[in-house]
Homo-oligomer: A and B are copies of this chain.
Amino acid sequence: MNKQAINLKHKLSMINDHWKPRVIAEMNDYQFKLVKVKGEFVWHNHPDTDETFIVIEGSLDIEFREGKVTLEKGEMYVVPNGVEHKPVAHKECQLMVIEPKGVVNTGDKDSELTAQNDVWI
């Protein structure tokens, strides 16, 4: 059994791109992912699952068709399944995303921002 702590800052230091989530841990059939984001993502939703965002550094807007939520460092939010949302980071933001294994970052939308799934660091 692996007995190594997973250091979030160390793992984030390995990421040099935007919108490409890396898996760092699994719990049952859920995955913990780290991702750096900057700019506007695409409108999408995840019909079958909620999705959790935790801001490690920076600030993230999650826009909805009506209204938005702004997450600062040390804040989290769970986007309910089926709710259309668009993450927007005005400056680079470092995130942890938690969701079931197999969930694609752009949900129901194909996009040039659709990232390869299940990439570990």
Contact = CB atoms under 8 A, between A and B. Distances in A.
A14 interface: no
Contact of A52 (B7, B25, B100): B25
A71 B3 CA distance: 10
A75 B25 CA distance: 12
A75 B71 CA distance: 20
Interface stretch (A35-43, A77-85, A104-112): A77-85
A102 interface: no
Determine how many copies of this chain the complex contains. 2
B52 A1 contact: no
Interface residues of A, number: 37
Interface of A: 1, 3-9, 24-28, 30, 32, 49-52, 64, 67-72, 74-78, 80-81, 83, 98-100
29 contacts: A1-B64, A1-B80, A1-B83, A3-B67, A3-B68, A5-B69, A5-B70, A5-B71, A5-B72, A5-B75, A5-B77, A6-B75, A6-B76, A7-B72, A7-B75, A8-B74, A9-B74, A24-B76, A25-B78, A26-B50, A27-B49, A27-B50, A27-B78, A27-B98, A28-B49, A28-B50, A28-B81, A28-B100, A32-B76
